[in-house]
Amino acid sequence: MSPALAARVQAAVSNRQGPRRPLKSLLRVLTFTFVVASAFGVVHFREQRQQRLEAQRAELLSTLKRAGQTLTASDRELPARVAAAIALEATTAYLGDRLPPELQSEAQLSEVLAQPTLYLRGALDALARPERVSELASSSGKDAFVLCLLSPPETRSEKALRHKASAAYAQGSGTEATRNVERLAPLLQALPLLERGWARRVESAESELALQTLQKLVDAAPLAAAVRAAKARQLLLVLDESSPGSGPTELDGERVHPVRVALTDLTSGEARLRFRQTVDPSWLSDSTRAQYASGIDSCTLAMDFRRAATTKRP
């Protein structure tokens, strides 16, 4: 190839390649910019997610702190003392009545019963098993026994007792007369959420989903009721024994059976009052017995408990 032709070929090739160099540079710049922007976006997203996580964590911890700020060390130990009191009274052999003379007046008894009180009622054989206590507490509410103990009917007529039993059924959450009584269930269910161990679970949660799960548990827990229950200083316990025979069972589940009542000082662990009596709804009219046998038996038991406690003895 002549030198002149070679020069012309080289010039043509150079002209074709020249304009591409700025395009390649532009592509490199755009690629670099995209990579940097993507990396920045990932970092920014992670920072935002971490900030949301910490904000949720702080809010949940703050909720728990506010809910439990009035609890003392003694309050936090109450579930263990309650368990000990239940174990003492749920023995197979009844420990015997305890009706001390210092409570043998309506005024003295009413003063004691007006103290902050936890209430639990359940079958004796079930309460004797510690693993069943929480389950029984969930189904134990402020029934006719509590209402009639703190606000007895004026007479023992069927009509008066039926009225009280009906009121207890209708006002299961309690009335002004029973405002000092708290159910045991909230204490057992929600107090653990206010302990340091549960706060550590919140602190160690590594995802928003984990924190949201913990938040839902806290939102559903009766924290205020648990704190009120932790302030109780006595336990009112009603234990239904097995039926001694094969008598009929009423439509609401009532039957002839012995019942124990115990009022325990949760500070000392000693029983303040203890009483045992057999309930029997057979004296009621058929229509009343079918619907209110259990409530009326509970009401008469409460009245007999008060009467036994306040009867003067030599």
pLDDT tens profile 102-119: 999 999 999 999 999 999
Looking up tokens 């003379």 gives: 101
- Does pTM top 0.75 for this prediction? yes
Question: 291-309 burial, b for 16+ CB within 10 Å, e for fewer?
Answer: bbbbbbbbbbbbbebbebb
Looking up tokens 């009929």 gives: 248
Q: Among 27-31, 49-53, 54-58, 208-212, where is mean pLDDT lowest?
A: 27-31
Question: 216-246 burial, b for 16+ CB within 10 Å, e for fewer?
Answer: eebeebebebbbbbbbbebbbbbbbbeeeee
pLDDT at 54 over 70: yes
Q: Please give the average per-residue pLDDT across 194-222, as a whole number.
A: 92
**What was the pLDDT predicted at 40?**
55
Helix (H, G, I), strand (E, B) or coil at 271: strand
**What was the pLDDT predicted at 21?**
63
**What was the pLDDT predicted at 244?**
78
**What was the pLDDT predicted at 9?**
46
Q: Please give the average per-residue pLDDT across 108-132, as a whole number.
A: 97
Angle at the Cα of 53 from the Cα atoms of 47 and 59, rounded to 5 degrees? 135
Q: Among 20-29, 199-208, 241-250, where is mean pLDDT lowest?
A: 20-29
Distance, CA of 112 to CA of 103 (rounded, Å) = 8
Q: Please give the average per-residue pLDDT across 294-300, as a whole number.
A: 97
Looking up tokens 């160099």 gives: 21
**What was the pLDDT predicted at 206?**
86
